[in-house]
Every structure is written in C-alpha cells, then in structure tokens.
Amino acid sequence: MDAKQLQSYKQHSTLLSQFIVRLSAFYEGLSDDLDKELQTLRGHLSGTPNFTLATVSINKLNRALQSQEITVKKYNADAIARLEKSIKVLQKVVFENEALKQNATKQLITLHQPVGDLFSIYPLFQQALDLHHSALTGQFPNALNTPTTADNADPANPLYKSILEELNQLLDSYAQKMPNDVKLLDIKNKLSSGMDEDELLKSCVIVLRMIVQDAMSEASLTGKVIQSLHNSLAKVGNEIQVSMEDSRSQFKQRQAGNAVLQSHIETIEEAVNHSESFDTLKEQTQYCVQNIAQTLNQQIQADTAGQEQLMNLLGSMQSRIEQLQQQTNIYKKKLAEQLSLSQTDPLTRLPNRQAYNDKLSKAFQKWQDTSEDLAVAIIDIDHFKSINDRFGHAAGDKTLQVVGRHLKQHLSKDAFIARWGGEEFVLLLPRSTMKEVKDGLEKMRQTLSELPFKFKQEKVTITASFGASLFKKGDTPEQVFDRADNYLYQAKREGRNQVVTD
C-alpha cells in the first residue's frame, strides 16, 4: 500500500470514527447501560482511534440494542395508548363542539395506524397537544394538519380496511333498492378510486342517514299496517258488541212473548174450569187461540228479522276478518322478504355475515349438545386486488359471483356458505372429520383453479387459499374462527393456492 492510499485510508477512518461518535449521541438517554457503553465507544474512537477496543464495544452495543428493540416497541405502544386515552377523555369534554369532536375522531383513527419508529410518534404528540390547546382556549386554529388526500389514507390499517369493506357491503345492499341514487353512485365511485379517512367518515355518515331514513320509512309503513289492523279489529269488536246487544234485546222480546203465551194458556185453563156452557167455552177458547197465534206470529217475525240482522252482521265480520288475513299475509310476506334481504349478500346472492352468525349460533349449540364434528373454513381469493386493478371492478364482481356459485355447488347438503366480506367466504361443515374437510377443500381448490376465466380477451387463472379448523372441547366460535384465519394466512405466506388445516 503506497503513502497516498495509506493517507486516504487514515482520512476515511477518521471521518468514519467522527460519524460514529456523533451518531452514538442520538441513543443517549435510552438506558443507563447503553449510555455507559456509548461513552466507552466514543473514548475508543476519539483522538487516535483504537479499532480493536472499539470492535469489542460495538459488539456489546449490538447485543444491547437488540434487546432494547422490544423496549422501544413497548414504549411506542404505551405512548400510543396514553395518547388514545387522553383524546377519548377530551372527546367527552368537548362533546358540544362539533369541530373539535370531529378532529378528535380523526386523531383517534390516525392513532390506529401502524407506528414504525420513534420519529413517527412526535407528530402525533404535536397534534394531540394542538388539539388540547384548542380545547383549552376555545379556539380552533386547524390544529390537526392531517393530510386529506387519498394518497395519505393507509389501506394497510385494519380499522380503515374493515370500515371500507363494511361500507362496500352496505352500498351493495342499497344499490339493489336505489340503483339510480346519485349519492350512492358518488360514494361507490369514490370507494373504487380510493378515499382518505375524512371522506370515509363523511361517506359513513351519509350511509347512516340513509339507513335511518329507510328504517323510519319502514317503521312508518309498519305503523300504518298496525293502525289498519287496529281499525279493522275495532270495527269487528264494535260489530260483535252490536250483535250481543241485539241478541239480548231479542232474548227479552222472546221472554215477553213467552209470558203472553203463558197468560193466554192460563186464560184457556180458567175458561175450561169455570165455563158453564160449551158455546161459551168455545168462544173463549177461539179468542185465546187467536191471541196465541198472533203472539207466535209476532215472535216468528221478530226472530226472522233478528236472524237476518245476525247473518248480515256475521257476513260483515267475515269480510273484515278476511281483510285482516290479507293484510297480515301481505305484512308477513314483506317481513320475510326484509329478513331474507337483510341476510343475503346482494352481489353473490349467498348468505351474508349476519346469516352466518345466526347459523353459527345454532350449529355451536347443537355441537355442544351432540359433540358431532363441526368445522369452520375460510376461503380467500388469491390476488383479487390485481383483478380489480387490471380489469376493473365489474370483472372483480363477476369473479366473486362465479367463485361463490362454484363453492356452493361443491358443498354437501348440510354445509353452509356465506360471504364474509371483500374476497373472503366462510364455510360451516357439520358432521365431517378433518380428513373429510381437507379432502373436500382440496377438491374445491383444484376445480376452482381449472375454471376458464377470461377478461378483456385474456385468460386468467383464479385460485384461492383455504384455512380450516375443527371445534375441540372447550372451544368458543371465536377461537375456532381465529385458528382457521391463522391457517388461511399461513397458506398465503407459503405461496397461496393451498389448503392448511389442523
């Protein structure tokens, strides 16, 4: 090595040593042990560097920093938790100030996004301090400088993704009812192109208002039906009351007629007992018979009129009851349609998550009672986002429909399938051993990959990843679902298009 190269090496070594000394100052304060070792390292590198001792010190620092990584992550998590708690308390204090409440909500959503390092926490503290300052001063100087462009929304945030999926499902449901609604179409387009958290919150508010309005409309219709039923029942009740009063009146008239008849009979008996001649008896008897006939005739007329009135009343009541039955049947049918609609995914026409939860509750109870095998399987279409990106959302919707139909066709009669959300489907598989479950899922996976998809003249192979788990003693539905979900992600990590089970 010539003198020039040696000089260059010394300069570089000196420069590197100075850089390491300056960089080491950044870690001061993290822990006492690190501070001491960093000071030792700076001593070895200051002046004339001693690289042998510096190497020993660097090795110690490497081990210490590796153990401190967990501490830093815990510090980050604790700091985020404290910020979240503080802002939730602030929300309760400023509940009357809509602007502050809205910005506090934005701050909470931001806190749920992943924080990778210490530097990311500082802006969060700054925003929280600005927010608290605004609350204390009663002013609102746009404290949160949260970006409001779609580029800054983090799709990786689980909360953001979950809200996005739920909103998409709600929009699909209402799109069936109101296909030409301008607000719905606008939100749908924004969801397709991506939206930031502020727009997502506003869209949620719009959809919630729509749901409330629809519920109020449904409640109004229900109220009208109930009022109609009440009116019809009241009329039937009134008619029954009139019928009872008429019956009582006719009964009294019949009693009076019977009393008159009894009087005429007694008169005949008296005439028979006291009459002195046959002619007189005959004359008195004829008179009494005429009165009896007249009384009987009056009773017959009254009974006939009463019977006609009763028949008319019964006919009217029958008509009212038939109307009630018709109204009740219409309402029952509408309720059944509403229930079916609320438990059906509008895109795939498969049961939705609510229907799955209801079915799972019954299946779980049966499993507890009988201990028959019961498995949960989760299916996720591989690279589904790329289908939407390359061929458009219409192609993505078509893919979901075809895949859903294909999966349903390959299920046994007892099995249950539902669209869980996005590109995920969930299965309930009763009375099946894990081997039978795995064999069935493998067949589904294989046949799905053989389906002839074609978008924009391009042949596309659609595959899916599967995760499944069997209920075991002491399990809850949530635990089994989590196991199946973990198996699903294992299948994705290991290359997709495969089945992973217990």
Catalytic residues: 423
Residue 432 in contact with residue 468, Cβ under 8 Å?
A: no
CA dihedral 250, 254, 257, 259 (to 10 degrees): -130
Q: Hey, CA dihedral for 188, 189, 194, 200, is it positive or negative? A: negative
| Residue 287: partners with Cβ closer than 8 Å, 6 or more residues away | none
- Helices 32-45 and 51-93 meet at what angle, rounded to 10? 140
Interatomic CA distance for residues 472 and 7, integer angstroms: 72
Interatomic CA distance for residues 12 and 306, integer angstroms: 123
State the pairing for strand pair 416-421/464-470: unpaired
Interatomic CA distance for residues 79 and 126, integer angstroms: 13
The 10 Å Cβ neighbour count of residue 157 is 17
Phi, psi values for residue 375, rounded to 5°: -125, 150
The 10 Å Cβ neighbour count of residue 382 is 20
Helix boundaries (H) for 343-423:
353-370, 384-391, 393-409
The 10 Å Cβ neighbour count of residue 162 is 12
Q: Token pair for residue 317? A: 């009541």
In the three-class reduction of DSSP (H, G, I as helix; E, B as strand; rest coil), residue 497 is classed as: coil
